[in-house]
Amino acid sequence: MAHVFSPAKPILRVNDLKTQSKQDQQQGYMQILQGLMTGIRNPRAHEHQYLDEPEVALEILGLCNHLARVIKGAVRTRSRKPKKP
């Protein structure tokens, strides 16, 4: 997440990064996505008995839906490196 959404050299840009506020927004989404992976995804992927209450599950899905919308609207700033044969 830090590599892809880095405000300095992002691969995916959520805005044009022309103002401090827009750079802060880029950094904020980067940090939210890092936290989502660390605090929400990883515990559930590594502890298979991890069960959420239905209300919590809906809240997580709402957050993920918002982040998916932001990512879908992001602009790719550079192409992928070609795979080595």
Higher pLDDT, residue 16 or 81: 16
The per-residue pLDDT for 48 is: 79
pLDDT digits (tens, 9 = 90+) for 8-59: 999 999 999 999 999 999 999 999 999 999 999 999 999 878 889 999 999 9
The per-residue pLDDT for 84 is: 75
Q: Would you say residue 79 has pLDDT above 80?
A: no
DSSP string computed for 31-83: HHHHHIIIIIIHHHHH-TT----HHHHHHHHHHHHHHHHHHHH-EE-SPPPPP
Token readout for 66 is 């918002």
Of 31, 40, 42, the residue nearest 1 (C-alpha):
31
3-state SS, residue 15? coil
Cα–Cα dist 60/58, whole Å: 5
